[in-house]
A and B are shown apart, each in its own frame.
Chain A
Amino acid sequence: MNPLFPRTSFKFIGLAIGLSIFFISFAASVVLGQTPTSISTAMDAFLRYDASSTEHIVITTTRLSRAVIASVIGGGLAMAGALMQALTRNPLASPSIFGINAGALFFVVTATVLFSVSSLLHLMWIAFLGAAVAAILVFFLGSLGRDGLSPIKIVLAGAALTAFFTSFTQGLLVIDEQSLEGVLFWIGGSVAGRTLEMLEPVLPFMAGAGIGALLLGRPINILTSGEDIAKGLGQKTILIKLLTGLVIVLLAGGAVAVGGSIGFIGLIVPHIVRGLIGMDYRWIIPYCAIFGASLLLLADVGARFVIMPEEMPIGVMTAILGAPFFIYIARRGFSRE
């Protein structure tokens, strides 16, 4: 398959187009919703804030933080997905398929039900931990054996871990029905109802990991040409793999800690991006960040309108978008490897 933008100059143009799509989505996310506002009102809200205007309050308190959070999560998930697909050589790799979301959720529910943790900030750290544990487990289980990481093995390991974590989560929630209401939004995934302060603790990690991901583009290009070749070229493959793994955990863990279980962004976006620009990870990573953020912003805007006046959980939105895509890739098979 030939990429849409084969030449470097085109890739810069593509990046510019991507950025403008991102800004439009961001603006849409700030402006549209149950209280419709206009672009000029939004501008006013930032430049000439009027505390008596409901629209201004809505925009500066809920809409803006929501858009920022959606961008960070979307970009993080997409980058994590791209790195996972590169590392496992598996086109189906993504945080949700590999059980990372389910792991984070299980930890959150355990903390709420058994240890009565209720501070959202603490829960976020716990989710982070759960994501890391699940990621390590999946990579470990998927790479057992002589032939190392095989695509089918790691998908099965992910599905199994998801089933495992989910059933325990359900069990705990049955024991304590009151908690069910409190954690439902983790289960469904949400970028609403969170302030920017909640993003602060994880932001340094995610930003660091994002920069790390950008820097890893070049070594990953070498790694994807084959382990032996990479070693022959003098690459410390183990170190690169470990660093990539760390970056994945930070990005995916941070995303699930803030937004709950939002699936499939990490699956779809890298495929779209590869279709646009080919296999060069130096470009794939920044493209993924921008397109992932845009996609999640748009999904979030969509989630506000599908079943007005209620809001669709965003994790459900992305699953509805993403699962058909997963099935499409599964049908096409692993032939591109």
Chain B
Amino acid sequence: MSKRTTIRNRSDSISFLVENRSMFVFLVFILLSFLLFIIGLSIGSTIIHPLTVLKELIGIGNGEHAFVIETLRLPRLLLSFFAGICLGISGLILQGIVRNPLASPDIIGITGGGAVAAVVMITYFPTIDITLLPFVAIAGAGTVSFFIYTLAWKKGVTPIRLVLIGIGVQALTGSFITMLMVLSPSYSTSEAYIWLTGSVYGANWGNVLSMLPWMIVFVPLAFLFSRKVNVQELGDDVAASLGSHVQRTRFGLIAISIALAGAAVAFAGGIGFVGLIAPHIARRLVGRSFGSLVPVSALAGGIIVMLADIVARTAFLPLDLPAGVFVSGMGAPFFIYLLYKTRNS
């Protein structure tokens, strides 16, 4: 048995069992994220020496690159990091509930809902302040998820039905988006398209600050609920006999998952596959205990999106490509590998 550390409060209402190995993985991921941060801040159309970046960050630089670092690159990196964290946790929760390693917010329609709402706003109400886009997208994701959940309800929600209905709804939202784009003027079509592919292009501190509350509320919530996912993974009957309110817990977990996915979609567009890959990387590294899966999956998601965006904006200079393309490039082969891996389950 590996060594474990237990973290709990006095009344035992919050309790984590953290394996030391998970702690190690977590620290490595933190380090990796930090390294990526420095790399992300230093490369781009003007390359800044990493040491200069560090100096600038702790406030002892000469301010020569302050604009590039603090106004252009830092918010963009933070936003992609945050979006990745949200998607990583959201996907992890969904896979836990559905008990299927192939579930993720973009495959079962949650992302699609946010995308429809956002495309409607971009194409038909271009005059509305763009800072409202996140709220519109989150509202869309929430509404569509509510529909999926209601439609999947038949004396309770079974995971399989949830996925199938999600796929149907995803097809519907996809065709709505197509319709909007075919019918709209070409200028807004391409703008909507870039957004759909997933991009943190033009991120500013306002975006970062408005994303922060979602993170602060829902990431800790995901931690608190993590124990319940462990129970849910055992199956409905076992979970019920262990005293878990299966349907109520499932609803709560899905709500968290939606809020996180919605926030990510809202600020970073339709970046796919992160919610799928990150949990798998985490499981591969730290095993199946949900308490340690949450932080590792979150960081894995953050690292993936950050890396994708750094590559996307530097690989084809001066072109600034949407990060979503690169995430899909990594994610799709991985997905096929997963289908192969889980062929007997």
Report yes or no: A320 in contact with B172, Cβ–Cβ below 8 A.
Answer: yes
Convert B272-302 into 0s and 1s, putting 1 for each residue whose CB lies closer than 8 angstroms to a CB of A: 1100000000000000000000000000000
Give the docked Cα–Cα distance between A307 and B179 (Å): 11
Nearest 8 A/B pairs, CB to CB:
A145-B343, A171-B325, A319-B175, A167-B328, A144-B343, A323-B172, A330-B164, A164-B332
Report yes or no: B325 in contact with A159, Cβ–Cβ below 8 A.
Answer: no
Give chain B residues whose Cβ lies under 8 Å from the Cβ of A229.
none
Report yes or no: B179 in contact with A170, Cβ–Cβ below 8 A.
Answer: no
Name A155-174 residues within 8 Å CB distance of B: 155-157, 159-160, 163-164, 166-168, 170-171, 173-174
Name the contact of A155 in the complex, choosing from B151, B167, B186, B325 (C-beta under 8 A): B167
Q: Taking each of A180, A307, A323, which has the highest tally of chain B beta carbons within 10 Å of its own beta carbon?
A: A323
Name B331-345 residues within 8 Å CB distance of A: 331-332, 335-336, 339-340, 342-345
Q: Which residue of the partner chain B has the closest CB to A160? A: B335
Give the docked Cα–Cα distance between A170 and B121 (Å): 19
B102 at the interface (CB under 8 A from A): yes
The smallest C-beta distance from A321 to any residue of chain B, in angstroms, reads 10
The smallest C-beta distance from A158 to any residue of chain B, in angstroms, reads 8
B229 at the interface (CB under 8 A from A): no
Give the docked Cα–Cα distance between A322 and B168 (Å): 9
B97 at the interface (CB under 8 A from A): no
B322 at the interface (CB under 8 A from A): yes
The smallest C-beta distance from A170 to any residue of chain B, in angstroms, reads 4
The smallest C-beta distance from B180 to any residue of chain A, in angstroms, reads 9
Report yes or no: A144 in contact with B339, Cβ–Cβ below 8 A.
Answer: yes
Give the docked Cα–Cα distance between A167 and B196 (Å): 9
Give the docked Cα–Cα distance between A264 and B175 (Å): 11
Give the docked Cα–Cα distance between A322 and B174 (Å): 13
Name the contact of A167 in the complex, choosing from B168, B186, B194, B273 (C-beta under 8 A): B273
A: residues with CB less than 8 A from B are 92, 96-97, 141, 144-147, 152-153, 155-157, 159-160, 163-164, 166-168, 170-171, 173-175, 177, 180-181, 184-185, 187-188, 263-264, 307, 310, 312-313, 315-316, 319-320, 322-324, 326-327, 330-331, 333
Report yes or no: A170 in contact with B325, Cβ–Cβ below 8 A.
Answer: yes
Name the contact of A170 in the complex, choosing from B151, B152, B193 (C-beta under 8 A): B193
Q: Which residue of the partner chain B has the closest CB to A96? A: B171
Give chain B residues whose Cβ lies under 8 Å from the Cβ of A156.
100, 102, 107, 163, 339
Q: Which residue of the partner chain A has the closest CB to B176? A: A316
B: residues with CB less than 8 A from A are 100, 102, 106-107, 151-152, 154, 160-161, 163-165, 167-172, 174-176, 178-179, 181-183, 186, 189-190, 193-194, 196-197, 272-273, 319, 321-322, 324-325, 328-329, 331-332, 335-336, 339-340, 342-345
Q: Taking each of B170, B194, B328, which has the highest tally of chain A beta carbons within 10 Å of its own beta carbon?
A: B328
Give the docked Cα–Cα distance between A187 and B192 (Å): 15
Report yes or no: B178 in contact with A167, Cβ–Cβ below 8 A.
Answer: no
Report yes or no: A177 in contact with B324, Cβ–Cβ below 8 A.
Answer: no
Report yes or no: B179 in contact with A312, Cβ–Cβ below 8 A.
Answer: yes
Give chain B residues whose Cβ lies under 8 Å from the Cβ of A170.
193, 196-197, 324-325
Give chain A residues whose Cβ lies under 8 Å from the Cβ of B197.
167, 170-171, 174
Report yes or no: B339 in contact with A326, Cβ–Cβ below 8 A.
Answer: no
Give the docked Cα–Cα distance between A51 and B193 (Å): 43
The smallest C-beta distance from B132 to any residue of chain A, in angstroms, reads 24
Name the contact of B171 in the complex, choosing from A97, A175, A333 (C-beta under 8 A): A97
Report yes or no: B272 in contact with A188, Cβ–Cβ below 8 A.
Answer: no
Give the docked Cα–Cα distance between A196 and B345 (Å): 48
The smallest C-beta distance from A131 to any residue of chain B, in angstroms, reads 17
Name the contact of A180 in the complex, choosing from B175, B183, B193, B321 (C-beta under 8 A): B193
Give chain B residues whose Cβ lies under 8 Å from the Cβ of A146.
343-344
Report yes or no: B165 in contact with A144, Cβ–Cβ below 8 A.
Answer: no
Report yes or no: B165 in contact with A168, Cβ–Cβ below 8 A.
Answer: no
Report yes or no: A316 in contact with B154, Cβ–Cβ below 8 A.
Answer: no
Report yes or no: A152 in contact with B160, Cβ–Cβ below 8 A.
Answer: yes
The smallest C-beta distance from B105 to any residue of chain A, in angstroms, reads 11
Give chain A residues whose Cβ lies under 8 Å from the Cβ of B163.
152, 156
The smallest C-beta distance from B36 to any residue of chain A, in angstroms, reads 22
Report yes or no: A184 in contact with B325, Cβ–Cβ below 8 A.
Answer: no
Give the docked Cα–Cα distance between A187 and B178 (Å): 7
Give the docked Cα–Cα distance between A322 and B175 (Å): 11
Give chain B residues whose Cβ lies under 8 Å from the Cβ of A331.
151-152, 154, 161, 165
Give chain B residues whose Cβ lies under 8 Å from the Cβ of A323.
168-169, 171-172, 175
The smallest C-beta distance from B338 to any residue of chain A, in angstroms, reads 9
Report yes or no: A157 in contact with B339, Cβ–Cβ below 8 A.
Answer: yes
The smallest C-beta distance from A63 to any residue of chain B, in angstroms, reads 21
Q: Taking each of B152, B335, B340, B343, which has the highest tally of chain A beta carbons within 10 Å of its own beta carbon?
A: B343
Give chain B residues whose Cβ lies under 8 Å from the Cβ of A92.
164
Give chain A residues whose Cβ lies under 8 Å from the Cβ of B189.
180-181, 184
Report yes or no: B332 in contact with A168, Cβ–Cβ below 8 A.
Answer: yes
Give the docked Cα–Cα distance between A177 and B187 (Å): 10
Q: Assuming the A-B contacts A145-B344, A170-B324, A187-B178, are A330 and B168 also in contact, with contact meaning beta carbons closer than 8 angstroms in the complex? A: yes
Q: Assuming the A-B contacts A97-B171, A333-B161, are A188 and B179 also in contact, with contact meaning beta carbons closer than 8 angstroms in the complex? A: yes
Give chain A residues whose Cβ lies under 8 Å from the Cβ of B319.
175
Give the docked Cα–Cα distance between A324 and B189 (Å): 27
* Listed A/B pairs (17) with beta-carbon separation below 8 Å: A152-B160, A153-B339, A157-B339, A160-B339, A163-B106, A167-B197, A167-B331, A170-B197, A171-B324, A171-B329, A173-B193, A175-B321, A180-B186, A184-B189, A185-B182, A187-B178, A327-B165
Give chain A residues whose Cβ lies under 8 Å from the Cβ of B164.
92, 152, 155, 330
Give chain B residues whose Cβ lies under 8 Å from the Cβ of A163.
106-107, 272-273, 328, 332, 335
Give the docked Cα–Cα distance between A286 and B168 (Å): 27
Give the docked Cα–Cα distance between A263 and B342 (Å): 28
Give the docked Cα–Cα distance between A284 and B328 (Å): 40
Q: Assuming the A-B contacts A141-B339, A327-B151, are A316 and B325 also in contact, with contact meaning beta carbons closer than 8 angstroms in the complex? A: no
The smallest C-beta distance from A264 to any residue of chain B, in angstroms, reads 8
Report yes or no: A315 in contact with B175, Cβ–Cβ below 8 A.
Answer: yes
Report yes or no: A307 in contact with B343, Cβ–Cβ below 8 A.
Answer: no
Q: Assuming the A-B contacts A173-B193, A185-B182, are A330 and B161 also in contact, with contact meaning beta carbons closer than 8 angstroms in the complex? A: yes
Q: Taking each of A92, A160, A167, A181, which has the highest tally of chain B beta carbons within 10 Å of its own beta carbon?
A: A167
Q: Assuming the A-B contacts A160-B339, A164-B332, A168-B328, are A316 and B179 also in contact, with contact meaning beta carbons closer than 8 angstroms in the complex? A: yes
